[in-house]
Amino acid sequence: MSADSAAVRQWVEAYAAVVSEHRGELTRLDQAIGDGDHGTNMDRGMRKAVEKLAGVPDGDVGAQLKAVGMALISSVGGAGGPLYGTLFMQMGQSTTGKEELDAEAFADALEAGVKGVQARGKAEPGDKTMVDALLPAAAALRAAAGEGADLAAALRRAADAAREGRDATIPLVARKGRASYLGERSRDHQDPGATSSHLLLESAATALAS
Ligand code: ADP
Ligand code: MG
């Protein structure tokens, strides 16, 4: 089983819906250790992404993902939006010209995306950022693909790894982004960006399951 551009469109739309549903939670998490805008930022950005994607023809998955990335970069200020923009842009770069993604291609894309996020934001694992959910997800996806899992099963494992990575941000002290200004006081809070990244993988596992 693999995902064609209609399925990728469903994923992006599902993520936008899930972000909108979780807007209040993302905002509350960001109020605790940031400036309280992560929910509204991601909601605005993903609405724009869905709008922009509607104008992209079916076929090239890479063109779709790049359009999502550009919409996020141009509509969201601060750190989180442009980092998600980079994630999607690099996923799009990795899938340029592809009409379908299997588990292997999805793993390539997610790895490229996370690499882009790290190149831009300079966060390492353990810095209490979205990277703490995205990196384990990419690793789980790669491992599952290597074992011959189909895309649905591989994404399920990636989403579970992202959830564990998200939960593991709770005891960490933030070393990147606004939360790092709090030092020790950032401990015992779940990172908002790791939370939205888990939702991204969870919506992929759900939307691309059939
Ligand atoms: P801002 O911090 O500008 O208000 P958001 O609230 O939208 O942006 O996003 C905050 C999230 O962005 C954090 O929870 C963290 O996961 C992520 N983040 C912030 N800085 C970085 C960075 N340098 N690298 C990776 N992720 C980061
Ligand atoms: Mg914020």
Residue % of the chain over a pLDDT of 70: 100
pLDDT at 165 over 90: yes
Whether the CA torsion 95, 176, 48, 22 is positive or negative: it is positive
pTM: 0.98
Domain ranges within the chain, ordered by starting residue: 3-207
User: Can you tell me which atom of ligand 1 is nearest the CA of 194?
Assistant: 16
Closest CA to 172 of 182, 186, 192, 161: 186
State how far the Cα of 29 lies from the Cα of 34, in Å rounded to an integer.
8
Q: Is domain 3-207 annotated with CATH 1.25.40.340?
A: yes
Q: Residue of the nearest CA to atom 26 in ligand 1?
A: 129
193 lines ligand 1 (CB under 6 A): yes
Tell me the CA–centroid distance for residue 81 and ligand 2, in Å.
10
pLDDT at 1 exceeding the cut of 80: no
pLDDT tens sequence across 102-135: 999 999 999 999 999 999 999 999 999 999 999 9
Ligand nearest to the CA of 42: 1
